[in-house]
Amino acid sequence: MGNGGPNLVSSFHVIGEIFDKVYVEGGDMINKNVQTTMIPAGGSAIVEFKVDVPGTFIIVDHSIFRAFNKGALGMLKVEGEGDKNVYSGTTQEGIYLPEGGTIQNMPKEKTAPKSTAAKTVPEQVKSGKELYGRTCFACHQSEGQGIPNAFPPLAKSDFLNANSDRAINAVLHGLTITNVSWFAAKKYCECQGKRLPSMDEWEYVAMYIMSWYEKPKTYMNPVGHTFKNYWGVYDMHGLVWEWTSDFNSIFLSGESRKDKDTDKNLFCGSGSVNATDLMNYAAFMRYAFRGSLKASYSSRNLGFRCAKNLK
């Protein structure tokens, strides 16, 4: 495969396949099991791969907007005997959306919710099957059997069958998003037309509570199932720690840490000397935790929520 350029590098990829071998820039060096390979302007690469099922495989420059929006793609048609274990043959027609399949519309002003009639059980089953076909089918397969060594099965899953309510709540209410850095949390909120709450906003809404700090693995609890506080907000306590937009604003200067500027001298509780309420120990714990963070850190018990200004 050659790239005539004249100026752009090609991210060469065949959708639905992995290259068994790639002769980098057409030379002697071989990479194995490569999804996408770079081809410089005026350069080339040699690739080898074996398809497992017949079909039409799309050849693209994986600089994907450039590929789809300007027609920089090709089709490789393969004939032969099919294998339902690899590909069921089910296709779904749709319109290509360059912004992706998740966020398609900018946030709109809230309108009165539309009234809908309650569905019967068969109707609910039918709707669930349609949703599964649109969202889960590609990875978990038609009967929930999954794909070996790639996607675990849903059918006969020990984890799911051990607590069916937990599985249902995860589908209905979602799971807590953790192991996410401040950068990722901030960008997600911006994509939703929102932002991370400030530390003052979070503390104002949270108020006082201590009991959940003693409970282990609260990050496994379902979203929206802890108590609703005075302001009508769920999960301020009893679920996970949360990022705020200005989490690092409590760092103290080197002067207050004996003029030492190493990281370990920033992560300290001596900032409490200016506290106005020395009995609010829960807040001290939150501030101490925030003071130990860097924006690139992530943790399984650290998540976030989005906030939005009201007009």
Do 212 and 282 contact (CB within 8 A), yes or no?
A: no
Assess whether the previous peptide bond of 6 is cis (omega < 30° from 0).
yes
Cα–Cα distances in Å, from 194 out to 182, 197, 235, 298, 304?
14, 9, 19, 21, 12
Please compute the mean of the pLDDT values over residues 237-265 and round it to a whole number.
62
Residues whose CB is less than 8 angstroms from the CB of residue 12 and which lie 6 or more positions away in sequence, other chains included? 1, 3, 36, 37, 38, 39, 45, 47, 59, 61, 62
What percent of the chain has a predicted confidence (pLDDT) above 70?
Answer: 69
Most confident of 64-68, 182-186, 220-224, 288-292: 182-186
pLDDT > 60? residue 107: no
Confidence of residue 112 (pLDDT cuts 50, 70, 90): low
> Which range, 40-44, 95-99, 108-112, 307-311, has the best average confidence (pLDDT)?
40-44
Buried b (16+ CB within 10 A) or exposed e, 287-311: beebbebeeeebeebbbbbbbeeee
Ramachandran assignment for 114, one of left (phi > 0), alpha (psi -120 to 50 degrees), beta (any other)? beta
Per-residue pLDDT of 24-74, as tens digits, reads 888 889 999 998 898 888 888 999 998 888 888 888 887 766 666 565 678
Minimal CA–CA distance to 62: which of 6, 3, 13? 13
**Bigger pLDDT: 6 or 270?**
6
Can you tell me the distance from the alpha carbon of 303 to that of 236, in angstroms, rounded to the nearest whole number? 11
The yes-or-no verdict on residue 267 having pLDDT over 60 is: no
The mean pLDDT value for 202-227 works out to 64
22-26, 82-86, 209-213, 226-230: least confidently modelled range: 209-213
Which residue from 236, 196, 190, 195 is spatially nearest to 213, judged by alpha carbons? 236
Split at pLDDT 50, 70, 90, the class of 281 is low
- Domains, the chain, ordered by start: 10-78 (2.60.40.420), 121-162 (no CATH), 182-303 (no CATH)
Q: What number is the average pLDDT over the span 221-226?
A: 68
Structure-block tokens of residue 130: 């349609």
Q: Give the pLDDT score at 266.
A: 40
Maximum average pLDDT range among 1-10, 204-213, 249-258: 1-10
What confidence score (pLDDT) does residue 259 get? 46
Length of the chain: 311
Q: What is the pLDDT of residue 60?
A: 83
The pLDDT, as a whole number, for residue 117 is: 78
Residue that has been written with the tokens 């690469």 in this structure: 45
Q: What is the mean pLDDT of residues 93-121?
A: 63
